[in-house]
């Protein structure tokens, strides 16, 4: 394997990404050749993720139950989750309100929005911007969320990739393991630890194929982005990307204060950052994030194996930040006055909608915008198409926010660290 270490270098990844971008924009006839490489890479990676998620969570919960000094640790975890989500939503709402990406759009942008809605929406969908929207009655969101948590068949949940159901099962199973006698639970811990280590090794081997995977994934994604969509969202897309960059810098500053170094955490997290941007898949970054936090940054492996998957799944910073921006965009398109009450509704509604995306991706994730737009009386059905069209651009940054923020927030939960930067050791 040492002869192929160059395939894991930044230069190899950069060349693969550049080739994918070139094929996607300039040579689309080659997409049919490279796209299977990207899909194969992602499929093999996803094959390893769920076993890692299940064993890591169950192991960590079970071992934490065996310890008696974790009450303060868990309370700090909950407080950090809640405050970070509210802060992200507030930041997105303030930026969206201040910059106003949905106000004063040019005639070309408005025409493009109209064409996209007309061409891609259902034939019978009509939206009158000058009449109040009457939202249809729907079932209780909280009731629906609770029912989606519990898997009737864990093997079915594993085969369908239902992350939130697997997480719920893993947490319950971890509590059950922790309640067993020590001799019995130790056998399960050894078995699960072997499974976890085996799949982690597979992921390490798979990283040699990363340059080829990113080439296929980027070529396929970029070829599907139309310039009309970019024209329609000419103010919104750059603002969203800029906001995610600002958030990334804020989280990097947090890690600087918690570790004593600005660059060291970035170097340690280089691999999960690249994977999140290239795959737009949170769980695809899980193995490398676990390795970075406990092998490179030196945090406790047992707690990291619990916190990283839990934070990826429940502390949904990326969707929350995006939903607050997107809701402000829709509010401005429909010229709704932003009172203090409306602002608060956007902030807390975005937190709720972002949290509800646990286990969701793609269009199913975007439909959670209805949780915020519904109480505001805004017709999401038409403009949702706009968000679907531009999502290949936004999704990588949304996933990056989840991955990077999770690692940064975990440094808040743990005690501060100091590193010998000259020796790159604690």
CATH number of the CATH domain containing 298: 1.10.3860.10
Domain for residue 221, yes or no?
A: yes
Mean pLDDT to the nearest integer, 407-418:
86
pLDDT band at 383 (very low <50, low <70, confident <90, very high): low
Share of the chain above pLDDT 90, in %: 20
Q: Using CA of residue 331, residue 340, residue 373, residue 134, what is the dihedral sign?
A: negative
CA–CA separation, 66 vs 177, rounded Å? 9
Predicted TM-score (pTM) of the model is 0.71
Residue 419 lies in a domain: no
Residue pair 41/209 in contact by the 8 Å Cβ criterion: yes
pLDDT for position 342? 87
* pLDDT tops 60 at residue 213: yes
Look at residue 73 and tell me if it is in a domain. Answer: yes
For residue 311, tell me if it sits in a domain. Answer: yes
* pLDDT for residue 245 is more than 90: yes
Q: Do the domain assignments include residue 318? A: yes
pLDDT confidence of 227, banded at 50, 70, 90?
Answer: low
Mean pLDDT of the 365-372 span? 75
Angle at 105 between CA 100 and CA 109, to 5 degrees: 130
pLDDT of the residue at 112: 58
What is the model's pLDDT at position 253?
95
CA–CA separation, 280 and 410 (whole Å) = 21
Question: How does residue 323 score in pLDDT terms, banded at 50, 70 and 90?
Answer: very high
Residue 193 · residue 59 · CB < 8 Å: yes
Q: How confident is the model at residue 417 (pLDDT cuts 50, 70, 90)?
A: confident
129: its two tokens: 């911007």
Is the pLDDT score of 132 beyond 60? no
**Domain annotation covers residue 422:** no
* 3-state SS assignment for residue 296: helix
pLDDT, tens only, 156-179: 887 877 766 787 888 889 889 988
What's the whole-number mean pLDDT along residues 339-355? 87
Q: Is residue 10 part of a domain?
A: yes
Contact present, 285 and 399 (Cβ < 8 Å): yes
211 vs 115, higher pLDDT: 211
Burial 142-158 (b: 16+ CB within 10 A, else e): eeeeeebeebeebeebb
Cβ within 8 Å of residue 331, ≥6 positions away: 102, 338, 342, 346, 376, 378
Distance of CA 232 to the CA centre of its chain: 25
Looking at the domain assignment, is residue 383 inside a domain?
Answer: yes
Domain count along the chain: 1
Helix/strand/coil for 212: helix
Residue 72, domain extent: 2-413
Q: What is the rounded distance in angstroms from the CA atom of residue 339 to the CA atom of residue 154?
A: 46
Alpha helix ranges (H) inside 121-226: 141-149, 154-160, 163-179, 182-206, 210-223
How many angstroms separate the Cα of 140 from the Cα of each of 137, 144, 229, 364, 371? 9, 6, 34, 18, 11
The residue among 325, 153, 335 whose CA lies nearest residue 247 is 325
- Say what the pLDDT of residue 420 is: 53
pLDDT-wise least confident of 5-9, 136-140, 204-208, 319-323: 136-140
d(CA 196, CA 289): 14
Dihedral of alpha carbons 337, 340, 342, 347, sign:
positive
> Which pLDDT belongs to residue 131?
46
- Determine the pLDDT at residue 127: 43
Length of the chain (residues): 426
Among the ranges given (34-38, 64-68, 359-363), the one the predictor scored with the smallest mean pLDDT: 359-363
């Amino acid at each position: 394997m040492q002869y192929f270490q160059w395939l894991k270098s930044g230069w190899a990844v950069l060349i693969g990404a550049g080739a994918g971008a070139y094929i996607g924009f300039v040579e689309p006839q080659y997409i049919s050749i490279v796209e299977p490489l990207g899909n194969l890479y992602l499929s093999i990676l996803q094959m390893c993720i769920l076993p890692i998620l299940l064993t890591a969570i169950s192991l960590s919960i079970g071992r934490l139950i065996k310890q008696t000094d974790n009450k303060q640790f868990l309370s700090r975890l909950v407080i950090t989750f809640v405050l970070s989500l509210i802060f992200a939503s507030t930041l997105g709402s303030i930026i969206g309100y201040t910059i106003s990406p949905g106000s004063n759009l040019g005639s070309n942008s408005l025409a493009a929005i109209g064409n996209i809605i007309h061409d891609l929406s259902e034939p019978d969908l009509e939206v009158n911007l000058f009449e109040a929207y009457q939202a249809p009655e729907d079932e209780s969101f909280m009731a629906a969320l609770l029912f989606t948590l519990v898997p009737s068949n864990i093997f079915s949940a594993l085969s369908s990739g239902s992350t939130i159901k697997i997480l719920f099962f893993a947490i319950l199973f971890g509590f059950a393991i922790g309640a067993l006698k020590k001799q019995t639970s130790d056998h399960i811990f050894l078995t699960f630890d072997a499974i976890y280590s085996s799949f982690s090794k597979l992921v390490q081997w798979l990283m040699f194929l990363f340059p080829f995977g990113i080439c296929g994934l980027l070529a396929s994604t970029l070829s599907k982005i139309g310039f009309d969509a970019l024209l329609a969202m000419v103010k919104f897309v750059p603002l969203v990307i800029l906001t995610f960059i600002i958030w990334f810098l804020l989280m990097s500053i947090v890690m600087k204060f918690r570790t004593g170094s600005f660059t060291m955490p970035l170097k340690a997290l280089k691999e999960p950052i690249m994977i999140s941007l290239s795959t737009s898949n949170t769980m695809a970054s899980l193995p490398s994030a676990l390795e970075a936090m406990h092998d490179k940054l030196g945090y406790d492996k047992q707690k990291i194996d619990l916190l990283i998957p839990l934070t990826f799944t429940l502390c949904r910073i990326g969707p929350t930040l995006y939903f607050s921006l997107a809701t402000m965009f829709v509010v401005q398109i429909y010229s709704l006055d932003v009172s203090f009450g409306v602002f608060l509704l956007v902030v807390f509604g975005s937190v709720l909608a972002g949290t509800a995306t646990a286990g969701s991706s793609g269009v199913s994730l975007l439909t959670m915008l209805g949780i915020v737009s519904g109480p505001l009386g805004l017709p999401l059905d038409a403009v949702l198409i706009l968000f679907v069209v531009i999502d290949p651009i936004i999704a990588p940054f949304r996933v990056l926010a989840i991955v990077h923020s999770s690692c940064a927030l975990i440094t808040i939960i743990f005690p501060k660290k100091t590193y010998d930067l000259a020796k790159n050791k604690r």
